[in-house]
């Protein structure tokens, strides 16, 4: 992982004629403001387009924004924008900004890294997002998120100061190019992101048929100001309510040095839904759900917040 990875990526020769795409994801988990959401930019250099999307729950009211625009297809950029939503790398691997001036809501948010970004290729069994023919990368960084969020009309009209812990990530590969790609890389998954005052605990676990066939695996890390440790062994229990809604979870995470961390969800806040598309805007490849929780590290009593992301084929 290098600073250049904050930019977009040219298609790998191994991708062939498949759509190569970067996916930049930025969470918002502000329990005091009662604002929960995800911002995403999906950009393809070899197809020349980018999608800008945001999905939020503000006081229980769902808000969303989506737009698609043409891009030049070059990896380097000063800003990625569709004229309403804008993403900027202020300082590589240290600070980024995302803003939106949409018809229903607007925001201006700065994400500053709390710890060093983690390259998922450094997981015990390598990058868990891809099989042996995976052609990209994925990194993740725990961050602070500060700024302003405004709902322009309706019962939740008003301004909110945002000041919370969050996670941002960047992925690039051939996922969502066509349905055959699921033979090469995982589709369905569970992704647990726990942000605590002094650490970040993250774990990705592939699920569904591909995982059951043993081609795919899991990965993640514990990040603190002193560095990052990878997981050696994990156990996650998930409780589902009606439909694709997580009502709670608990996990036992064992580091490579055999230190054990036990984490569990507490109060559940809300959920947002963000379907993932390929070249066409008409057919979703995956339905991704984000459930927001309070979370606790049982071993120390540390209190924080959590996002449980889970995805399924339509």
**Can you give the pLDDT at residue 245?**
92
Tokens of 50: 């980018």
**What CA dihedral angle connects 127, 206, 172 and 285, to 10 degrees?**
160
Q: CA 178, CA 15: separation in Å to the nearest integer?
A: 12
Q: Output the pLDDT for position 135.
A: 64
End-to-end Cα distance, the chain: 33
Mean pLDDT of 43-51: 97
User: What is the number of residues in the chain?
Assistant: 314
d(CA 51, CA 72): 14
Dihedral class, residue 296 (left if φ above 0, else alpha if ψ from -120 to 50, else beta): beta
pLDDT digits (tens, 9 = 90+) for 234-252: 999 999 987 799 999 999 9
For β-strands 218-224 and 199-206, DSSP reports them as antiparallel
Architecture of domain 3-312: Beta Barrel (2.40)
Please tell me the distance from the alpha carbon of residue 183 to that of residue 168, in angstroms, as a whole number. Answer: 27
Q: How many Cα neighbours within 13 Å face the side chain of 80?
A: 33
- Give the sign of the dihedral formed by CA 207, CA 229, CA 236, CA 58: negative
Q: Which pLDDT score, from 0 to 100, does residue 134 have? A: 61
Q: How confident is the model at residue 227 (pLDDT cuts 50, 70, 90)?
A: very high
Q: Is the pLDDT of residue 77 over 60?
A: yes
Q: What residues form DSSP beta bridges with 148?
A: 108, 161
The residues, any chain, with a CB within 8 Å of residue 298's CB and separated by 6 or more, are: 262, 263, 264
With a cut of 50, say whether residue 166 has pLDDT above it.
yes
Please, are residues 246 and 254 in contact by the beta-carbon 8 Å criterion? no
Tokens of 296: 């606790």
């Amino acid at each position: 992982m290098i600073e250049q990875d904050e930019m977009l990526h040219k298609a790998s020769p191994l991708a062939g004629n498949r759509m190569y795409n970067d996916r930049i994801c930025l969470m918002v988990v502000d329990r005091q403001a009662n604002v929960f959401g995800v911002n995403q930019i999906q950009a393809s250099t070899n197809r020349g387009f980018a999608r800008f999307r945001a999905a939020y729950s503000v006081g229980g009211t769902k808000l969303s924004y989506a737009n698609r625009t043409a891009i030049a297809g070059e990896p380097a950029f000063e800003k990625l924008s569709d004229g309403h939503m804008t993403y900027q790398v202020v300082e590589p691997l240290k600070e980024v900004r995302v803003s939106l001036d949409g018809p229903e809501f607007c925001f201006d948010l700065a994400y500053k890294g709390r710890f060093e970004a983690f390259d998922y290729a450094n997981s015990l069994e390598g990058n868990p997002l891809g099989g042996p023919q995976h052609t990209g990368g994925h990194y993740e960084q725990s961050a602070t998120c500060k700024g302003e969020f405004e709902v322009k009309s309706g019962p939740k009209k008003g301004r909110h100061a945002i000041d919370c812990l969050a996670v941002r990530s960047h992925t690039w590969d051939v996922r969502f190019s066509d349905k055959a790609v699921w033979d090469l890389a995982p589709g369905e998954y569970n992704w647990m992101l726990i942000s605590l005052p002094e650490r970040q605990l993250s774990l990705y676990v592939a699920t569904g048929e591909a995982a059951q066939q043993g081609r795919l695996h899991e990965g993640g890390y514990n990040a603190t100001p002193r560095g990052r440790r990878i997981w050696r062994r994990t156990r996650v229990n998930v409780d589902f309510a009606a439909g694709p809604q997580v009502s709670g979870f608990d996990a036992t995470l064992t580091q490579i040095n055999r230190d054990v961390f036990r984490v569990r969800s507490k109060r559940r806040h809300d959920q947002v839904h963000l379907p993932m598309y390929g070249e066409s805007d008409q057919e979703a490849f995956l339905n991704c759900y984000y459930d927001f929780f309070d979370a606790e590290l049982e071993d120390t009593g540390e209190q924080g917040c959590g996002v449980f992301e889970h995805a399924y084929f339509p």
